[in-house]
Structure 1
């Protein structure tokens, strides 16, 4: 047996926290049960304003803890962890939301798939609902480049109908994704312009543009709660969802697709403005997307 055959690829699991130590601790505790012998956990904190840092450090002194010193958003915080993993010589990196509960076998299943399919740039598991663990939340998604709408694949179906399926998609959700660290040299890190939502969408699209596949491998499984951190500021989720789809389409859609999308968005904003309470704010979302402004800059730092 040669030395190469003895090599067990190293995996660094990056978990981002912001004012949510309970979910983060639960996530790390489950991650520690993973059936794979060469992985490390890196916990990144986006300058939480509660007692997250003290609680997490006390509970997990044996794991790497990184304080970013600012609220850098999903991409910025995870990029800090990924850059650290690269400096440590990680073969693979797993980005894992702190509100995800992992199955012990998920990592080995995804890793074996990547090892045997070098044409795949990034792979994710089937993601199930936390409150109904047999019901699928997502197996990746497809993008309509005329409306900006995202079609989440297999949302609401029973997980037994999907086992062993290999599903090509436009992107796998940022709740859990695994990739060879070398991919960062080809496509770079997660785009940090979005702050929240659409960063992994664009990143996966960049991978596909390099001729590599984006895959949901349904034999692997996690459950996802849905982020509590997002809802701590009123209107945050809605603002970034609508603003960021404009940024995404401006940067990634073709000219004819953008024209259709802009028309669709303006008509939608008019509709909301005429018939819905506070509907005029959708014009503001559209404007901030076009100009890439962020009204929450001061609140989030």
Structure 2
């Protein structure tokens, strides 16, 4: 059985839209676990009132993404999950999303799978996976390489985000859960899927499984909305900082081949130091 893990903190309007999209799935062969990390809005009451089918696990507000997801995965595994999926609450799943992910999982039972993503506001395709060249720290966006008419099937990638990430139990059995100690929020998903790939598990973006997302709600976008010294510091060093230097260092040390590590680190630091002001 597939268990879908959704970490939430407030923003009930997004959570409701996400859960409604799961209710509308053509395949209902899954269970949903919401990890409510101390929400102070109507999340808890609305979940209990309107979504009795959803299991709720609670935190005290200090879990952040990684520990929240891990808490949900542990709960799912204890209930007998043979695969789990991490799903952000600010995404909307296409009606056949689960069916397409399960179909791909049936054909590739040890594969880690992500989804093709669209901007929920414009309908534009915005994410289809990427391949990273560790030698030069160069990212190759698959959407630049695959024409719109050929965007179907599975495509191998270096890593995947956690916004709609299917993980077989074989993966958690071998490499454990997400690295909540060193990567409490950002890069934990890219790190986990990169580690899984290096451990021998295929990592694919499934172009037949579609999600709509709200790019403006990402922490990186919010931090950069108003340029300031405080925002710059948060970008580089806060847990929610998209350019967090410590997180990047941990990711590099764990995943970059040693011969390429010095340049990869220096290049990555430079990009983070100046990137806040360029994007």
Q: TM-score, normalised by structure 2?
A: 0.83
1:138 Cα shift? 1.0
1:102 paired to 2:98:
no
1:181 paired to 2:169:
yes
1:113 Cα shift? 1.2
- Gaps in structure 1 of 5+ consecutive residues: 1-9, 280-301
- Tell me if the contact between 2:8 and 2:39 (Cα under 8 Å) persists in the aligned partners: yes
Q: Residues 175-226 of structure 1, C-alpha deviation per residue, up to 9 Å, x if partnerless?
A: 1011222321111111112222211111111111121210112111111113
1:140 paired to 2:141:
no
What is the aligned partner in structure 1 of residue 69 from structure 2?
A: 78
- The 1:106–1:211 alpha-carbon spacing in structure 2 relative to 1, beyond 3 Å, is same
Structure 1 or 2, whichever has the larger Rg, is 1
What is the aligned partner in structure 1 of residue 106 from structure 2?
A: 115
- The 1:48–1:156 alpha-carbon spacing in structure 2 relative to 1, beyond 3 Å, is farther
Further displaced range: 254-263 or 31-40: 254-263
1:172 paired to 2:160:
yes
1:143 Cα shift? 2.2
**Structure 1 Cα separation of the partners of residues 207 and 7 of structure 2:** 24
**Structure 2 Cα separation of the partners of residues 178 and 216 of structure 1:** 10
What is the aligned partner in structure 1 of residue 227 from structure 2?
A: none
Report the number of matched residues. Answer: 263
1:250 Cα shift? 2.3
1:207 paired to 2:196:
yes
- The 1:163–1:145 alpha-carbon spacing in structure 2 relative to 1, beyond 3 Å, is closer
**Structure 1 Cα separation of the partners of residues 95 and 222 of structure 2:** 31
What is the aligned partner in structure 2 of residue 223 from structure 1?
A: 212
What is the aligned partner in structure 1 of residue 242 from structure 2?
A: 241
**Structure 2 Cα separation of the partners of residues 157 and 109 of structure 1:** 20
1:15 Cα shift? 1.0
1:264 paired to 2:267:
yes
**Structure 2 Cα separation of the partners of residues 89 and 266 of structure 1:** 42
Q: Residues 95-114 of structure 1, C-alpha deviation per residue, up to 9 Å, x if partnerless?
A: 11101100111111111111
- Tell me if the contact between 1:139 and 1:155 (Cα under 8 Å) persists in the aligned partners: no
- Tell me if the contact between 2:157 and 2:204 (Cα under 8 Å) persists in the aligned partners: yes
SS in 2 for 1:12: strand
Equivalent positions of 1:56-75 (< 5 A) are 56-75=47-66
| Aligned-residue CA RMSD (Å) | 2.8
Q: Residues 117-162 of structure 1, C-alpha deviation per residue, up to 9 Å, x if partnerless?
A: 23x42111211111122x211112222324545444316988x434
Match of 2:37 among 33, 36, 46: 46
**Structure 2 Cα separation of the partners of residues 25 and 156 of structure 1:** 35
- Gaps in structure 2 of 5+ consecutive residues: 224-229
**Structure 1 Cα separation of the partners of residues 72 and 26 of structure 2:** 22
Q: TM-score, normalised by structure 1?
A: 0.77
**Structure 2 Cα separation of the partners of residues 85 and 103 of structure 1:** 23
1:255 Cα shift? 2.8
